[in-house]
Structure 1
Amino acid sequence: MSEPISIDIWSDIACPWCYIGKRNLEAGLAATAADEDAPQVNITFHSFELAPDTPVDFEGTEIDFLAGHKGMPREQVQQMLSHVTGVAADAGLQHRFDLLQHTNTVKAHELLHFAKAKGMQHEMEERLMSAYFTEGKHVGRVDDLVALAAEVGLDADEAREALENDVYLDAVRQDQAQARAYGIQGVPFFVIDGQYGISGAQPPAAFENVLRDLWSQRGQDAQAAPAAQN
């Protein structure tokens, strides 16, 4: 039995392309699941803050934020958001930028590390992204994050204690340091088996091809190893 392929994903829950990339990866995995020898994978999410200087309670819309943060004309921002909304829809997602509450995401990243320690990182990642992009919920305040943690089955009191005491802040910073070491400047960024980098929200077929190729190579290497020993 070959070792599972490791997929390390640097993302920010406030990154619309990260949610799209997550869905596309899931679609690629679903397409390979029917293979006679389907690739086995281990997926880990890592922290990346797109705008660490954002206040927890930003006053204004997503258009206001992007126009000010990136210095873009409001009309250009609106066109960009419309484009992203269309791409998200193609991936089966509903991005509601009209509802979105822009916020600082460091506490959300701490919560993801807490969830990881409890074996529920994937559920927490999905819940946070859905809350942020589809439901217009606040994901920067401790009370709101604790409520979302409880929704996926995590202990609310333990989650609150972890967030209020910055228990996982060092883990967030370690992820960010690793991103810098890899030279990651934008997300989503996928590191496959610690050696292959895939940048951006690639289509499902791109993930299908990479995973099938790597898994096939794993099988060939596994068969060649006993022969080499003989």
Structure 2
Amino acid sequence: MSTLRIDVWSDVVCPWCYIGKRRLETALGRFEHADEVELHWHSFQLDPAHPKGHRRSVFETLAQKTGAPLAQIGAMTRQVSELATAEGLTYDLQRAVSVNTIDAHRLSHLAAAHGLGDQMHERLLRAHLCEAEIVDDADTLVRLGAEVGVPEDETRRMLTGDEYAESVQADFREARAYGATGVPFFVLNRAYAVSGAQPADTFLSALRTAHADAAQATR
């Protein structure tokens, strides 16, 4: 049995990333060889210039970034939230807070070292997008890590140093090497790229193609 590797670049404050995650999961639920899939999560920052320690509402951040009035930002986020609802997600973007996500990504790498990468990424997405948690706050990250099984003392120690910082930067470099300029970004068997929160049918088609080509190559 051959393994089908999926690498996913994502940011924990990205509403499209959570939607894309759910759509991929839907596709995997319909994929005939889902038991052969190996999923790897990678870090990406939508706004690497966001000052560390600076917090402001997502609405204010989007208004400044796009130059659009708050009313228009509200309409945009409502549309995204409706798409999320269709995937079983309940967004609360009106209360969500923009932060620098470096520490959250370092926590994801620590969790991955414990075999909890998917669970940690899921928890961080839900915390920011659905629960308006402040995902650069040390105590919050310790608590969220503990919820999925990451030892609290390890998270605190990691947050006080620079552990996994280079791993996060390596993820950024690899994303650039693949030509990724935004997220979510998916690469199947290091050969097929799927950019954006595509429909589940698109993911399923890509999965079947990648699997068929891998099977052909091993004959």
Shared fold (TM-score greater than 0.5)? yes
One-letter identity of the residue aligned with 1:178: E
State the structure with more CA Rg: 1
Greater alpha carbon shift after TM alignment, 150-159 vs 47-56: 47-56
* TM-score, structure 1 normalization: 0.90
Task: Say if 2:91 is the partner of 1:92.
Answer: no
Greater alpha carbon shift after TM alignment, 70-79 vs 139-148: 70-79
Which sections of structure 1, spanning at least 5 residues, go unmatched? Answer: 226-230
Deviation at 1:82, TM superposition (A): 1.0
Evaluate the alpha carbon distance shift between residue 38 and residue 23 of structure 1 in structure 2; reply closer, same or farther with a 3 A threshold. Answer: closer
Deviation at 1:128, TM superposition (A): 0.5
Q: Give, in whole Å, the separation in 2 of the partners of 1:38 and 1:119.
A: 18
One-letter identity of the residue aligned with 1:61: S
Q: Give, in whole Å, the separation in 1 of the partners of 2:183 and 2:87.
A: 17
Equivalent position of 1:106 in the other structure: 102
One-letter identity of the residue aligned with 2:144: L
* TM-score, structure 2 normalization: 0.94
Evaluate the alpha carbon distance shift between residue 59 and residue 38 of structure 1 in structure 2; reply closer, same or farther with a 3 A threshold. Answer: closer
Q: Give, in whole Å, the separation in 2 of the partners of 1:219 and 1:126.
A: 31
Equivalent position of 1:31 in the other structure: 30
Alpha-carbon displacement from aligned partner over 1:171-223 (angstroms, at most 9, x marks no partner): 0011111111222111101011111111100011111111122223333444x
Aligned residue among 47, 51, 58 for 1:51: 47
Deviation at 1:80, TM superposition (A): 1.1
The question of whether the paired residues in 1 share the 8 Å contact of 2:192 and 2:210 is answered with no
Evaluate the alpha carbon distance shift between residue 59 and residue 190 of structure 1 in structure 2; reply closer, same or farther with a 3 A threshold. Answer: closer
Q: Give, in whole Å, the separation in 1 of the partners of 2:213 and 2:35.
A: 11
Q: In angstroms, what is the RMSD of aligned CA positions? A: 1.6
In the comparison of the two structures, how many residue pairs are matched?
A: 219
Deviation at 1:133, TM superposition (A): 0.8
Equivalent position of 1:175 in the other structure: 171
Correspondences of 1:63-82 after superposition (within 5 Å): 63-82=59-78
Equivalent position of 2:6 in the other structure: 7
Q: Please give the secondary structure, in 2, of the residue aligned with 1:145.
A: helix
Instruction: Give me the identity figure in percent.
Output: 41
Alpha-carbon displacement from aligned partner over 1:38-95 (angstroms, at most 9, x marks no partner): 5621111111111122245545422111101232232321221011001111111111
Aligned residue among 59, 74, 83 for 2:79: 83
One-letter identity of the residue aligned with 2:146: A
Q: Please give the secondary structure, in 2, of the residue aligned with 1:134.
A: helix
Evaluate the alpha carbon distance shift between residue 6 and residue 155 of structure 1 in structure 2; reply closer, same or farther with a 3 A threshold. Answer: same
Q: Please give the secondary structure, in 2, of the residue aligned with 1:95.
A: coil
